[in-house]
Structure 1
């Protein structure tokens, strides 16, 4: 479970997130919507204890990011958009294994997890190749596997399909469904409304650091009087929220 409680984040005189409150239930895939610069990544960095909230608090599985950051880190896996940060001279397997060891997993368990994730993400053809020459999509698959290697209860995914082609994105969505069936709690950040529509039943919509909506997709459509999520998104961006 993730509970965001009146969270704000300031960088000097700039307020990136203001008084954000929403809740993600255990075993739920929850969408965090907003255009680039809306505050999605800042919010997820606070969840991951990389940034400290200026005000408010976030609880992950009952642990406070302010007061119990180590307990939070033990329970989360996180993937940020942009540069995936892999070691180019290591193979895909070695990159994933390195992060598994950082979480204290025994080598046999690490290899078991790598083999499983490699099959799910269809990485077997390149799992033992060095990542330096990989395509963006191949690197993204390795980064996703690295996020999941320690089998976290709470998974934070910031624009996870960046660089993935249609086939790879479909594989990813199937994996998210599988993780949900295993009882994982997943926060999925995106500005791709179609993807959110396929994966999530509830969302939080953020614009300029403020919460514009939190609840079910059906309620969102009803509030804005349209089934087109792209139209809803643009209404909020253009200041037409109800």
Structure 2
């Protein structure tokens, strides 16, 4: 059996009187592509922030399990994670490559190594010609693809994606999905948060449904349909989430997520100078 890479054990998260998540238990395995599905206010983004160590649980634990089977608190091993928040948090005055290089340097990756990896992945997304463009003028889709390249620049074991195809056209969204599948085949663990059930079914081997802060289902799309006696993942989702959805405000603006993540990764608060070579080295 594929080994457990990330373990969520009885995790709850409260914000004052609001119980955002209640007693979530999951094991995520090497090579898993897990679709994290739920409506607005379900608790998906809160769970993602717990998984990357941005939040501390009110109860329970999130641990990373290394190759030797040793467990580490997730906030101690953030270099093993790549994060693509729904709001990308790019520095607008920097080029796409400068944003990516800044992140890779925070993770102590050599510029040439980061450049070569970024160029290979950029070709898969058909944006290698845009790496030296300033991100200020980028479309929503281009910003999403740049954020994905940034998250992959240090070759993380686990990739956390929050609505990764938001704002992408049909062709670009397909390229992102194909890249995610390839990463899973290479042994990367991907947590793929989305509102789109059809997309989750196309990309993910396993679906986790969160509703009103609780775990409602965890299994393959086929298993979820069999368990609910339905013919589609959408019908299975409706069957499992019949109680009325709550309304919960986000604790802080989503646009701050990436800036917080960068600060937690390396403690630096300022982006680098815009002076940059036209390739990976200096």
TM-score (norm 1): 0.93
Deviations 1:79-114 (A, max 9, x none): 111x21111111111111111111101111121122
Matched, 1:138 2:127: no
- Per the alignment, residue 83 of structure 2 pairs with 78
**2: distance between equivalents of 1:102 and 1:192?**
33
- Per the alignment, residue 131 of structure 2 pairs with 127
1:37-56 map, 5 Å: 37-56=41-60
**2: distance between equivalents of 1:2 and 1:35?**
24
Number of residues of Structure 1 aligned to a counterpart in Structure 2: 236
Could you tell me which runs of 5 or more consecutive residues in structure 1 were left unpaired when the two chains were aligned. none
**2: distance between equivalents of 1:130 and 1:61?**
38
- Per the alignment, residue 221 of structure 1 pairs with 225
**1: distance between equivalents of 2:205 and 2:144?**
25
**1: distance between equivalents of 2:99 and 2:200?**
29
Deviations 1:135-185 (A, max 9, x none): 100111000100100000111111111111111110001101111121101
**2: distance between equivalents of 1:29 and 1:6?**
22
- Per the alignment, residue 75 of structure 2 pairs with 69
- Per the alignment, residue 11 of structure 2 pairs with 7
Contact 2:216 2:241 in 1 (8 A): no
Among 10, 14, 20, the alignment partner of 2:24 is 20
Among 10, 35, 38, the alignment partner of 2:39 is 35
Deviations 1:61-84 (A, max 9, x none): 35443xx5222x011101111x21
RMSD: 1.4
CA offset at residue 224 of structure 1?
Answer: 1.3
Deviations 1:109-131 (A, max 9, x none): 12112211211211123111111
**2: distance between equivalents of 1:237 and 1:224?**
11
Contact 1:20 1:210 in 2 (8 A): yes
Secondary structure, in 3 states, of the residue corresponding to 2:148? helix
Could you tell me which runs of 5 or more consecutive residues in structure 2 were left unpaired when the two chains were aligned. 245-282
